[in-house]
Structure 1
């Protein structure tokens, strides 16, 4: 009888516990349902805010891209900036949506995780990000642009492209050089196209028998007659030294040029014109001559002469 009573008591206790657990579960579900009902307006408003920010990001991105097309920035940089603006708008919408739903703890956790992830990505892609920001800087500043003839990092050529990774130069031999943007920003850059004028420097020499006044007059007249793109530009002529075989002079004049090739073409044309003018006026451009003096007289021994070392028979 005692064992039967104990079993009935045990069964009664288990059924009572199950009933209590079920009541607590119903109470918990009811609380959740009440919370959902109460938070439903905020949830709908948060979804609306995020959806509006999502669609607004596309519109703003297109507007930014349209405005950037009026600048001289590279297309790749323009697209990247428009995408960054689009992502910023979406992130702002997400933050507002989480704030409306009172999920401040979730927002704090997301921001902390994004900071850690951003730090890790930044350390891993340090070189790439450096080239990217350098590319943006090169696209914004006026020191260099496509079509300029520049010299940087021991390379000379025409700038044909500036993207998010490197700057492309087309050298005079028609070869392409790809220089990381970071090196272009950090090292010295010489831009030959920053001005529309360039100075051509030419050196030459004339014989010692030449009339130096005539040489100066002929040379300067040739340059003034054939290189008059810049009105009232000065032609500088001055003798520099007494050379081994000639009296040397230096000639300087200005031309309109945007590339180093323009300077080379002008120099070649000037050399041909000066040579023709010198020939017409009997002005000699000497070449080096070396004179050898022998201190001892030279004797030529004939083949039919007997050798002094031979003995007479």
Structure 2
């Protein structure tokens, strides 16, 4: 096999290298300017990233969300500089290809990690909107407790039973969320029953006057008692009052003290809180009253007894006559 003679191809190679060298020298100022633009944008990205991180850490409760957002802004500034530099070199096609490739890769990653991406976006959105903060008492679906940590993908809630519940951020973002801390107050509702022999209006006045003596009750002008329904053994009342929540007294203690206060005030006013009582009344629409039935039964018994006594006396008289 003959060796390839380089003398035949060297003029072509030399010509090509010369063309590239001349093009490089011709574009050397653009290359220098592009490198300078990239360096400037890299420095600018660092400065913007640090400033954004400080601002977001003060504005957001989660440092993770603040760091992520600042990193995204930093990368966007840096990429902007790279695209400007490439465009300055006349590589518009390269910029378009890079953007198209980035879009395709982002779409593929979004489909592959859909659940993770959804939780991440929900965490960022909640970090900006702030529906709750660390230390707030929240309720979402069956979870009820105090927020301990807000992460990018989930939120840690400590229930009142001392358990830590890890809730995906998409659940808190999608579903109904109740924040018991944001207003700083909470209304308590306590049902209580009184006997049919007592007046609901009098009972309401007694309960309101007694509850308004408690220090933990606020908005005392809104403390109220409403008749709710007729029960088998009682008239059901509904007691409403407001407390600071979360406050020094606490929900459970406030409810306990209120129930004790209601019971003692009703007892002092001689108003009965009845236990289940069943009264039989046969006098409704055509029936006979119980006392009437009992008196008739007593009459029948006395008549039967008199008849027995008479029959006994008659038999005794007959035996006497026979003797």
Name the counterpart of 1:28.
Answer: 16
Q: 2:92 & 2:201 partners in 1: Cα distance? A: 90
User: Is residue 150–residue 159 contact of structure 1 (8 Å, CA) maintained in 2?
Assistant: yes
Query: Is structure 2 residue 67 aligned with structure 1 residue 67?
Result: no
Q: 1:91 & 1:212 partners in 2: Cα distance? A: 74
- CA deviations on 1:195-224 (whole Å, 9 max, x unpaired) are 222211111123445565553333111111
- Choose from 255, 271, 274 the match for 2:262: 274
- Choose from 56, 59, 66 the match for 2:44: 56
Q: 1:199 & 1:64 partners in 2: Cα distance? A: 41
Name the counterpart of 2:134.
Answer: 146
Query: Is structure 2 residue 184 aligned with structure 1 residue 193?
Result: no
- Choose from 247, 272, 282 the match for 2:235: 247
How far 1:225 moved relative to its partner? 1.0
- CA deviations on 1:151-177 (whole Å, 9 max, x unpaired) are 212222222222211122221111122
SS in 1 for 2:73: helix
SS in 2 for 1:69: helix
Q: Judge which range, 282-291 or 232-241, deviates more.
A: 282-291
Aligned length: 280
Query: How do 1:45-124 residues align onto structure 2 when only pairs under 5 Å count?
Result: 45-124=33-112
Q: Is the alpha carbon distance of 1:54 and 1:184 closer, same or farther for their aligned partners in structure 2, counting shifts above 3 Å?
A: same
Q: TM-score, normalised by structure 1?
A: 0.79
Where does the alignment leave 5 or more consecutive residues of structure 2 unmatched?
281-323
- Choose from 202, 210, 215 the match for 2:203: 215
Name the counterpart of 1:304.
Answer: none
Name the counterpart of 1:133.
Answer: 121
Aligned-residue CA RMSD (Å): 2.9
User: Is residue 73–residue 140 contact of structure 1 (8 Å, CA) maintained in 2?
Assistant: no
Q: Judge which range, 217-226 or 58-67, deviates more.
A: 217-226
Q: 1:169 & 1:134 partners in 2: Cα distance? A: 17
* Larger RCO: 1 or 2 (CA < 8 Å, sep 6+): 1
Q: TM-score, normalised by structure 2?
A: 0.76
Q: 1:46 & 1:173 partners in 2: Cα distance? A: 62
Query: Is structure 2 residue 175 aligned with structure 1 residue 180?
Result: no
Where does the alignment leave 5 or more consecutive residues of structure 1 unmatched?
1-10, 293-313
User: Is residue 188–residue 243 contact of structure 2 (8 Å, CA) maintained in 1?
Assistant: yes
- Choose from 199, 222, 235 the match for 1:234: 222
